[in-house]
Amino acid sequence: MSISTQGQAFRHIGSRPVRPDGVEKVTGKALYGPDFVTAGMLHGAILRSPHPHARIVSIDTRRAENLPGVKAVITGQDFSDLQSAEMVGGETTLDVRNVALNCMAHDKALYVGHAVAAVAATTPRIAHEALALLSVVYEILPHVTDIDAALEAGAPLLHEGLLTKGLAETPETPSNAALCFTMTRGDTVTGLDKAAAVASGRFTLKPVHQGYIEPHACVASWNADGQAQLWVSSQGAFDIRNQTAAVLKMRIADLKVTPLEIGGGFGGKTTIYLEPVTLLLSRKSGRPVRIAMSRDEVFMATGPAPGGDIDIHIGAGSDGTICGAVMEFRYSGGAFPGSDTHAAAMSAFGHYRIADLSLTGWDVVTNMPSTHAYRAPGAPQVTFAVESCLDDLASRLGMDPIDLRLKNAVRPGDLNPVGLPLGAIGFDECLEAAKAHPHYAAPLAAGQGRGIAAGMWGNYGGQSSCVVSIASDGTVLVATGSPDIGGSRASMAIMAAETFGVPYENVRVTIADTASIGYSMVTGGSRTTFATGMAVVDACKSLIETLRNRAAGLLGVEPADVTWKAGEARCSTGECLSIAAIATKSGQFSGPLSAEVTVNAAGYLPGYGVHICDSEVDRETGQVKITRYTAVQDVGRAIHPDYVEGQLQGGAAQGIGWALNEAYLFNAAGTMDNAGFLDYRMPVCSDLPMIDTVMVEVPNPAHPYGVKGVGETPIVPPLAAVANAVSRAVGYRLRDLPMTPDRVCAAIPDRD
């Protein structure tokens, strides 16, 4: 369902055509990372640490190197000795030294699964046989996987020189706290003292994986002249290129990265793991090399979303006005710093007007895989705590949960977390749409509960490049540098067709390699349809001006006498020339019809969502069933409504899994107990109801077609929506995720 606040007639915007890449994907012809092969290719494999924390005393590679069929062996000694330096990594900044050490350990292994050596051989069997012949001597060190334990005095130190950033005074003693970030305004002590009701508590979450179906894979070829190629499955070929070049101290122009189709990413494929390793094996062997992770390697050696411990206090007056909020959260960064602390702080209270606020976030390193982005990185965890407390406040004040949120919702002109006024946002409209939805008024059966939660994500614009060309028959070719994850080929084609006024079927979109187009940021941050779409529209408009000028020359009139409408040049004399008629005569003018545009898109607006969840709890077993679910979101303007609905449904499904089932489970030895889809329980179709969607369209005036990012906001409210529904069903507040049957049973007050 769509609710529009601004009507405007379009020919293609808002239509639902078949996606251009659909046939190849459903017939199995599309090439993903593990599918790609090249002539003379070797097969790589990686030896990984069995210990969560161990000093690497020595690695003897001789027996592996002497095995027939083995062409190369590398260790951490083959990597350059890098110094710490910041570089762009997907949606955040990374330290190049930490990235290199995560790709392959040098002096210490910091988690079970940390790469310590790699081989390339003529067959996969020989490669894995060679791993068994590598002799590694470890000095086993104490480890820590718990956040609070990592912060205790005397805890095992992962990095001997790590000093906490962000404190008023730089500490002299290293610790496992990598960062402390604070944000305050007003007087929270006075604010909370004025409260008629206060909700508080400690909320905990475990790390969870993005759950993409396709494992990480790449093929590398390093030529004798020093130039190299990578074929990868990633969310951003340019950032993969830049990170890999930095780690290997290559010139960026010497590395060409070709993006393959991507079988899911959700933020988890914006950094490098295999690429430098595979390239070094290729350089050493003189042949192309492919490495593809197994599923257990994906879980043990790639970055999940951080878990966290969150302490929170929120107070409200008798009329529901929030008068003060205090939060301290500690996120698990894994083996290296970088646990979305800043993004979490910006998202926690960003959808409410709170005059008195204090927020402190900690980034804590532990002996587990280094955490990474997962769809609205950092926001779902803190929102779980905030929205759970608001549910408690509504109960204590006797208010409707949506009315409480309406009382405090940010509106256009209010200040965002960094003090800038908000533009054309639709949070208020989302709350009203949720309250008016039939789901909200539907009766509940015994043993059921209904939860409401809201949330926001800041979205982004950033750098994108696009080339638009017109073939001699008038068809349109669009090339971008943004990998297609959620249907961006279709959205780019729709916007190009709308701008030119030509049929959608006359537009073809390709994803270019890094040597064929200008830099484009990752497909992440909910930026692609907004920013890359802006570049596409600008390129089309530039070509329309060229078409008008050329039509004027053909018709013998001034350009001012020619307008462009419905795919043709129209002269004031009544004569018309189609796009094909102009294109066929391009040789008579200055050459081919083509335009390249680069943008650093600004004007993006945050996204807001409101979710309604109904749960049913079996009081004997603690089993939770989600019986009904509705996701409401301000989507700007839906370019392709099917894909927007899919984003809302997908985020809700992932959030439900996070709330009920999913968690990284480590045993006392520091090993992950559930490194596979059999034991890491993601929801499947039978676990979920049909997820209803309501698209509230409040167009963004900074975009030609009103686009706002939609891909990440949908995962922000579900954790709290589910928790609120289950808590209301059992009559007791649950603060620890996932809400597994044993935890739910323990929370039921009247159960033996």
Q: What share of the chain is helix, strand, coil (3-state, %, to 5)?
A: 30, 25, 45
Count CB neighbours of 603 within 10 A: 13
Cβ burial of 237 (10 Å; 0-12, 13-18, 19+) is buried
* Same domain flag for 727 and 631: yes
3-class state of residue 415 by DSSP: strand
pLDDT of residue 370: 97
For 694-728, write each residue's pLDDT tens digit: 999 999 999 999 999 999 999 999 999 999 999 99
Contacts 24+ apart (CB under 8 A), 679-685: 680/209, 680/299, 681/657, 682/211, 682/657, 683/653, 683/656, 683/657
Q: Point out the domain boundary residue: 601, 632, 647.
A: 601
576 in the same domain as 465: yes
Looking at the structure, tell me whether residues 641 and 733 fall in a common domain: yes
Amino acid at site 738: P
Structural domain including 561 reads: 461-601
* Type of residue at 713: T
* Structure tokens given for 479: 């090339």
Examine the pLDDT at 591 and tell me if it is beyond 90. Answer: no
Q: Are residues 624 and 556 in the same domain?
A: no
DSSP 255: E
Whole-number Å distance between alpha carbons of 572 and 581: 18
Of residues 106, 144, 120, the one with CA closest to residue 65:
120
pTM over 0.95: yes
Q: Which of 546, 571, 601 is the last residue before a domain boundary? A: 601
3-state secondary structure of 187: coil
Confirm whether 194 is domain-assigned: no
Instruction: Judge whether 16 lies within some domain.
Output: yes
Neighbours of 591 (CB within 10 A): 7
Say how far apart CA 106 and CA 585 lie, in whole Å: 61
DSSP 429: H
Token pair for 551: 């039509």
Whether residue 529 lies inside any domain: the answer is yes
Residue 15 main-chain phi, psi, to 5 deg: -85, 175
How many domains are contained in the chain? Answer: 2
The residue from 553, 578, 601 where one domain ends is 601
Asked if 750 and 613 sit in the same domain, the reply is yes
Q: How many CB atoms lie within 10 A of CB 552?
A: 18
Mean confidence (pLDDT) of the chain: 96
Looking at the structure, tell me whether residues 641 and 553 fall in a common domain: no
Among 131-135, 417-421, 594-598, 656-660, the range scoring the smallest mean pLDDT is: 417-421
Query: Given CA atoms 537, 539, 541, 543 in this order, what sign does their dihedral have?
Result: negative
- What CATH number has the domain bearing residue 466? 3.30.365.10
| Rounded Cα–Cα distance for residues 437 and 456 (Å) | 20
Q: Are residues 467 and 597 in the same domain?
A: yes
Question: Does 742 lie in the same domain as 610?
Answer: yes
631 in the same domain as 583: no
Dihedral of alpha carbons 28, 30, 35, 36, sign: positive
Span 182-206, pLDDT tens digits: 999 999 999 999 999 999 999 999 9
Q: Judge whether 497 lies within some domain.
A: yes
Per-residue pLDDT tens for 26-83? 999 999 999 999 999 999 999 999 999 999 999 999 999 999 999 999 999 999 988 8
482 and 593 belong to one structural domain: yes
